[in-house]
Amino acid sequence: MEQRPTANPRALIFDMDGVIVDSEALHESAKQQALRSAGIEVDESVFAQYTGRSDRAMITDLAKVHGRSDGEVEAILLETQRLYTFGEPQLRPISGAIEFLGWARKHYRLAIATSATPRNRTSTLANLRLAQVFDVAVDSASVIQAKPSPDIFLRAIAGLELSSEDCWIIEDSVNGIVAARHAQCVAVGLTTSFHQSQLLSVGANLVVDSFSELRELLESIADG
């Protein structure tokens, strides 16, 4: 059941893929094609288990199961990046994300904490003209343990020089919500990748279907 927070946060921490940019389908397609070219077929249900985690985490796991070497893992990762980069110019922001960030930066400190590579993070934010919006930005190069470990969020919180209770984390994935709760932050689920029931079942404090809904909630708390 949703537990609606009553305290206004001082900072908002965002995942990137599936929250700021509508990129999950491209990520999945790139990985699927790269794995297939290496002779590895992956069931659709497997991708959902890795949503919110890095490409390296998924490809390493699956390649090792199929007995592939470290060199083959790196080759699959390179092909995944090539395919992703090819499709990247077609990516668009999640509906309402740009407008929400423009409003939110006037009221909160903002951070991005993504499982993406440094290259993909930098490129995405530049393409969406968001490079200067975030006070803190961390990515897969910042941590050893990927989501659902809370490490990437803890790094963002430290960069903001705040405590966990000051921060709300906006996530679209099950792995991300689990990581947010482990970081002891308010975990906000956005239903771009998973259903409300799935996000609530792993501990989301609240779930919204849109950024306009999230803004309304934050404004009601601030006015409260």
Indicate the domain borders of the chain.
11-22+92-223, 24-89
The domain covering 11-22+92-223 belongs, at the CATH homologous superfamily level, to: HAD superfamily/HAD-like (3.40.50.1000)
14 φ, ψ to 5°? -115, 135
Using CA atoms in the order 21, 25, 30, 36, what is the torsion angle rounded to 10 degrees? 160
pLDDT, mean of residues 175-191: 97
The alpha carbon of residue 8 and the mean position of all alpha carbons in its chain are separated, in whole angstroms, by: 22
Task: Tell me what pLDDT residue 52 has.
Answer: 79
How high does pLDDT run on average in the chain? 93
Instruction: Report the predicted TM-score, pTM, of the whole model to 2 decimal places.
Output: 0.90
137 φ, ψ to 5°? -135, 125
Task: Tell me what pLDDT residue 23 has.
Answer: 93
Confidence of residue 1 (pLDDT cuts 50, 70, 90): very low
Q: For 198-224, write each residue's pLDDT tens digit.
A: 999 999 999 999 999 999 999 999 886
Q: For 23-77, write each residue's pLDDT tens digit.
A: 989 999 999 999 999 999 988 888 888 887 888 989 999 998 899 999 999 999 9
Which among 114, 101, 155, 148 is positioned nearest to 27, based on CA atoms? 114
